[in-house]
Amino acid sequence: MSLSAPILDEVAPEEEQPTAAPAAAPLLLHVFPSFAVGGAQVRFAALANRFGARWRHVVVTLDGRSDCLKRIQAGASVTTIQPPWEVSPGPAQRLARIAALLRRLNPALLVTSNWGSIEWAMANRLGPRLPHLHTEDGFGPEESGGQFRRRILFRRLVLRRSSVMLPSQTLLRAAQEVWRLPTQQLSHLPNGIDLRRFRPDGLKAQLGLGGEGPLIGTVAALRPEKNLARLLRAAALLRQQGVAFRLVLIGDGPERPRLEALAGELGIGGVTRFAGHVADPAAAYRAMDIVALSSDTEQMPFSVLEAMATGLPVAATEVGDVRLMLSEGNAPFLAARSDAALAEALRPLLLDATLRHRIGRANRFKAERDYDQENMFQAHARLIEQTMRP
Residue 118 inside a domain? The answer is: yes
Same domain flag for 381 and 351: no
pLDDT in tens, 161-184: 999 999 999 999 999 999 999 999
Read off the pLDDT of residues 1-31 as tens digits, 9 standing for 90 and up: 333 443 333 333 333 333 345 568 999 999 9
Q: Read off the CATH number of the domain in which 242 is found.
A: 3.40.50.2000
Number of domains in the chain: 2
For residue 126, is it within any domain? yes
> Whole-angstrom Cα distance, residue 383 to residue 166?
12
| Domain encompassing residue 255 | 215-370
**303-318: average pLDDT:** 97
The rounded distance, in Å, linking the Cα atoms of 274 and 34 is 24
**317 lies in the same domain as 245:** yes
pLDDT of residue 146: 87
Tell whether 177 and 251 lie within a shared domain: no
- Residues 340, 379, single domain; the answer is no
Q: Tens digits of per-residue pLDDT, 74-118?
A: 999 999 999 998 887 899 999 999 999 999 999 999 999 999 999
Does 121 share its domain with 262? no
Entry pTM: 0.81
Is residue 222 in a domain? Answer: yes
Is the same domain home to 32 and 79?
Answer: yes
- How far is the C-alpha of 267 from the C-alpha of 269, rounded, in Å? 6
Torsion of CA 363, 318, 285, 72, to 10 degrees: 100
The answer to whether residues 181 and 293 belong to one domain is no
Are residues 66 and 87 both part of a single domain?
A: yes
Q: Check whether 125 has a pLDDT greater than 80.
A: yes
In a domain, 70, yes or no: yes
Classify residue 201: in a domain, yes or no.
no
List pLDDT tens digits, range 28-58.
999 999 999 888 999 999 999 999 999 999 9
Contact 164, 175 (CB under 8 A): yes
Same domain (yes/no): 253, 156: no
- Whether residue 9 lies inside any domain: the answer is yes
Answer whether residue 143 is part of any domain: yes
Q: Is 232 in contact with 268 (CB distance < 8 Å)? A: yes
Q: What is the pLDDT of residue 14?
A: 30
Q: Are residues 12 and 122 in the same domain?
A: yes
The DSSP bridge pattern shows strands 163-166 and 27-32 to be: unpaired
**Mean per-residue pLDDT of the chain:** 90
Contact assessment for residue 245 and residue 238, using Cβ atoms and an 8 Å cutoff: yes
Tell whether 11 and 42 lie within a shared domain.
yes
Position 328 in a domain:
yes
Q: Are residues 227 and 287 in the same domain?
A: yes
